[in-house]
Structure 1
Amino acid sequence: MTASTSEQDRLVVGLAALAVIIHVLETAIPSPVPGLRPGLANVITLVVLFRYGLAMAAWVNLLRVVGGSLLIGTFLAPAFLLSLVGALAVLLSLAVVRPLLRLGLSPIGSGALASVAHVGGQLLIVRLLLIPHDGLWLLAPWLMIAALPLGIFTGMIASETLKQLETTPKGGRTASHATD
């Protein structure tokens, strides 16, 4: 194993741990709609996507789902399934629009897309496995209306974070720490 692979592994674990912490803290935020949360842990996924690429973002996102569910006690419960399917929908949507990232799709646009994809994936799995009734689709417009500004919000935070990180090399060490 090379040093760069080891450093990358530590980075993935560290960023996933940060995303897990945010995920767990976010579950404590009261919500007017059950299950509707701001998705602040997705800020980490977006930052990783734009800074390190889709593969690392996938690892961070999936580790967040598993780690977060283990800590809050939902592993293998319906909430875990919803979180996992939402995360997979996000990754699939970002993989599909990956060429647009190179053409200038911003973290804000990516956040909006990811949020809508997350809700769409969750609605689909709920309809297929948990509530097999077409009336469920009546919730879709309202959930998408809520998802869009929340995704834009997380995208804005990711965008600002990326601006702050522009002065930091990808290894995370500034020139003043290079001799540590």
Structure 2
Amino acid sequence: MSRIELVANAEDHRIARLAAAAIGLACLDAAIPSPLPGVKPGFANIVTLIALDRYGWRTAAWVAGLRVVASSLLFGQLLTPGFFLGAAGALASLLVLAPWSRLPRQWFGPVSASLLAALAHIGAQWLVARYWLVPSPGLIYLLPPLASAALLSGLVNGLIAAAWLARHPCSETAA
């Protein structure tokens, strides 16, 4: 019999540590009661913002993807509507963060990234809910409170990520 051996490098270990932190924060999110369906603080996105700033978009994408899959497995939601809502939101956020990551850091920091990602996240979730889960035109009335919640959580998470990055300078640069 042949055997396949996988060797983890330093980047694999870094991604695993960041994903574990994001999963832990996703557990904290799940413990907080929600005022509206789908409204959560999104604390796990702080780790994605830190990964984006320190290690680049590719690492942030791995962290976000692993968090979505592992959290859904942990909570027993793999391939449920909640999983697809989370995956759509994460994908939309990553698609917005890809061009953002090429902008000059002196003008665009973690707060602007977080605000854009939060709006993309809730927008994608709303589209999935509207056109797949609850195909009702009445869902349009949820957009203002959902967008407001996204802006608030995006601002808070961006400020937390910016404060953490300022307190923990790193000699490594984004890839």
TM-score, length basis structure 2: 0.90
RMSD of the alignment, in Å? 1.7
Q: For 1:50-92, what per-residue CA distance to the aligned partner results, in whole angstroms no more than 9, with x for missing partners?
A: 0100000000000000011110111111000000000001000
Q: Give the corresponding residue for 2:32.
A: 29
Amino acid at match of 2:172: K
For 2:121, which of 118, 122, 134 is the aligned residue? 118
Q: Give the corresponding residue for 1:97.
A: 100
Gaps of 5+ in 2: 1-6
Show structure 1 runs of 4+ deviating over 6 A: none
Tell me if structure 1 keeps the 8 A contact 2:111–2:157.
yes
Q: Give the corresponding residue for 1:20.
A: 23
Tell me if structure 1 keeps the 8 A contact 2:56–2:101.
no
Q: Give the corresponding residue for 1:175.
A: none
Amino acid at match of 2:29: E
For residues 101 and 27 of structure 1, do their structure 2 counterparts lie closer, same or farther at Cα, with a shift above 3 Å needed?
A: farther
Q: Give the corresponding residue for 1:177.
A: none
Amino acid at match of 2:99: V
For residues 134 and 101 of structure 1, do their structure 2 counterparts lie closer, same or farther at Cα, with a shift above 3 Å needed?
A: farther
> How many residues are paired up?
167
Aligned positions of 1:70-81 closer than 5 A: 70-81=73-84
TM-score, length basis structure 1: 0.87
Q: Give the corresponding residue for 2:3.
A: none
Q: Give the corresponding residue for 1:163.
A: 166
- Range 46-55 or range 89-98, more displaced: 89-98
Name the % identity. Answer: 44
Gaps of 5+ in 1: 172-180
Q: For 1:5-28, what per-residue CA distance to the aligned partner results, in whole angstroms no more than 9, with x for missing partners?
A: 700110001100110111022101
Amino acid at match of 2:102: P
Q: Give the corresponding residue for 2:49.
A: 46
